[in-house]
Structure 1
Amino acid sequence: MSQSVDAELDASGLHCPLPILKAKRALASLAGGQVLRVIATDPGSVRDFEAFSRQVGHTLLESSASDGRYVFVIRKRA
């Protein structure tokens, strides 16, 4: 999926719950409908970002993994 991104967060090397907490802070600075890309290395972040998006109401547009890197693309709820 090729998605226009408004901000990017590199949470590489951070462990739960830090990637989610930093993403929450980054999303707070975006307007509704804007898109954040998060890069993480914590395997638990896959489950965490799915649950976070569902609970808060953001849209998880993309979730992918490659070579120990996990990329999440999240659209902030309007």
Structure 2
Amino acid sequence: MHVFIRKTAQGKEFWDTKEKKIIFVPVSSNQPSLESMNVKQLKKYAADNNIEIPADAKKHEDILKAINEVLQ
């Protein structure tokens, strides 16, 4: 589970409770919005940013919700 710590100009920081380490998710100005990504792109984004997607999340809306819960 990732717990939000803080938001900076460079990105967001989260505490990974399993790995016991800080995860940094940088802000990227050339990144498309999450809403415009397809399921495959959302899963890749989640994997690249160490965000766990629940196994039962198969639809675009469910994956997007899981990502947004971590990023907020």
TM (norm. structure 2) is: 0.35
Structure with more contact order per residue of length (Cα contacts < 8 Å, sep ≥ 6): 1
**TM score, norm. by length of structure 1:** 0.33
More helix by share: 2
